[in-house]
Every structure is written in C-alpha cells, then in structure tokens.
Amino acid sequence: MSITEAELSAAIEVALCAARNATDIINKSIDERSAPITNVNTKSNSTDWVTQYDKQCEEEVLSVLRAGTPDYAIISEETQADVPLDDSPTWIVDPIDGTTSFAHGLYDCCVSIALAVNKEPVLGVISAPRLQEIYTAAKGRGAYCNGQRIHVSHATTLNESVVIIHQPYNRSKACVEAVLNTQREFMKLPVHSVRCYGSAALDMCFVASGKADLYFEVGFNAWDYAAGAIIVREAGGVVHDVNNQNSLDLMGRGMCCGSSKEVTLKAIEVMEKYNYRDAVWTLD
C-alpha cells in the first residue's frame, strides 16, 4: 500500500485540525477547574487513569479524521484499541497522552496522532496544550515545532546525555527494583541528567528537539509512540525496538529512541543488565 504526496499533505492538515480541536478541549478543562480531577476510571490498574475528557477528545479527533479521510482505518486508545494494524493507511490516536498529568493540571500531556502505512508511521502530529507547542513531521519532509525545523542533539555518549525514564504502571517488586537499578546505573556513569515526565509522546518530542538525548519505554502501545517515532526520525534521531536495533514494530510494545545509535545501544546494554524489559513487561 502507498499514499501519494498530495494525500500525505491532505492528511497532515486533517490531523492538525483534529489535534487543535482536542487541544481546545484540554485547555478549557484545565483552565476552568480549580482542583485536580478526582472522578476517574482505571484501566490496567489503579495508577492507569482515564477521564471523561479522554473520551471527549477521542470523539472529537475521530470525528475529524473520519470526515477528512473516510477510507482510512483508525486505532485509538479508548474505544478502538483492538483494531488490527495492517498495511492500509491507519490513523493511530492517543486523545490525551499523559492523563495523570492532565488530571492534575500539569504541563506534560498532549494529543498524539499518527498515520501509518505498511505498518510504518509516515506522519505525526503531537500537540502539547500547556506548552503551546505543536510538533509535526512527515516522511521525507523533516520535523517541526510550531513551524520551526527541529533536530536532535549531537550527543553520542551517555555521559553527555539527558536521559528520560518513566515510572511504569507496574509496581511489582521486581519491576520497581529493575527501574531503580537502571536509574542508579545511569546516574553512576554519570549521565548528564535523569528526568521523569508523564507523556511518552511528548518525551519523544523532547528527544527530537534536542531537549533530551535518550528515552526508552517498555509495556506501552502503538498510540503512545507512533507519532513520536516519525518525529524523532525526521529530526535526525534513531528509533528502534528495545530488543532489535534494526527495526521498530509499532505493535511490539517497546521502544528506544535517541540522538544517535551509540546512545541507544548503550541504553539497551544497561536495560539488559538489570532485566528491565522482562521486569516491566509483567504489566500484562
């Protein structure tokens, strides 16, 4: 399967419209409330939240995508998560990535929209409402933030890298120990800094724009990293599976991205040392 350059350009405009509409919903919700959202539902466990606004944003995004590209398939976190990914043009949507941060009024949440063709992302739009930033990329066209070209940093060693590591939803003893040991190893190297934010998609944008140099994750889903993957690649960075440096499986539930292959391969060495992937994977 393939799409033309004209179809790709049209899809970008559709995705931007959908992202802006969802951004308005997020901003309105945060601006109008005086306390964190407490009326939440949970998914995989008590730390994995979903709010009424996730569903409201999803309804708005999917409505725009269906109107603009009626023949494209859609995979979306809240209501269409089980749609299989094949070679046909497929939207991959996270209406609010970083729901916990959103619920608490923090800045690190975003709308993430990707288009995949032949199971590879060909465009990505990530809108971070509280940062007033919109990241975009399309295959062969570069990556941008608010219309300005972005590029990964020049870091080629962990010692000069800002590393982003999340706290997984999995809170088992084995997982907690693996995460803490991995963080400790990075700090002992030492890396330049270790950071923890709340949105996978936005963290990939930080790598793409040179604000961070390495980010990896295990046990998450295509909607968390599909848009970020094309943005990092078009910004000159690398993205691959945590267990295969030469490919990225959007349904593989694991990803490592960075400013250079040297940085990502060293990160995988550290993960393997502490059994990070298998320990976190027990989320299922």
Domains of the chain: 5-149 (3.30.540.10), 158-281 (3.40.190.80)
Question: For 145-175, how does the pLDDT look when each residue is reduced to its tens digit (9 = 90+)?
Answer: 999 999 999 999 989 999 998 876 667 777 7
Of 252, 179, 234, 240, nearest to 214 by C-alpha is 240
Half-sphere exposure of 64 (CA within 13 A, CB side): 21
Q: Is the pLDDT of residue 270 over 70?
A: yes
CB-based contact 200:240 (threshold 8 Å): no
pTM above 0.85, yes or no: yes
Query: Across the chain, what does the average pLDDT equal?
Result: 87
> Span 174-188, mean pLDDT?
82
To 5 degrees, how large is the angle CA 122–CA 229–CA 184? 175
DSSP conformation letters of 165-234? ----S---HHHHHHHHHHHHHHHHTT-SEEE--S-HHHHHHHHHTTS-SEEEEES--HHHHHHHHHHHHH
Portion of the chain with pLDDT greater than 90, in percent: 54
To 5 degrees, how large is the angle CA 267–CA 207–CA 72? 105
Long-range (24+ apart) CB contacts under 8 A made by 101-105 are 101/197, 101/198, 101/199, 102/26, 102/29, 102/30, 102/37, 102/51, 102/53, 103/36, 103/37, 103/40, 103/49, 103/51, 104/36, 104/37, 105/30, 105/33, 105/36
Q: Give the span between the Cα atoms of 123 and 165, in whole angstroms.
A: 25
Active site residues: 77, 94, 96-97, 99, 224
Beta partners for residue 80, in sequence order: 76
pLDDT band at 283 (very low <50, low <70, confident <90, very high): very low
Residue 101 dihedral angles phi and psi, to the nearest 5°: -65, -45
Alpha carbon distances (Å) from 83 to 75, 77, 88, 91, 220 = 6, 10, 12, 11, 16
Q: Is the pLDDT of residue 50 over 80?
A: no
Question: For 103-130, how does the pLDDT look when each residue is reduced to its tens digit (9 = 90+)?
Answer: 888 889 999 999 999 999 999 999 999 9
pLDDT of residue 93: 95
Of 234, 249, 244, 247, nearest to 265 by C-alpha is 244
Portion of the chain with pLDDT greater than 70, in percent: 89
Higher-confidence residue of 24 and 171: namely: 24
pLDDT of residue 282: 63
- Identify the helix (H) or strand (E) that includes residue 283: none
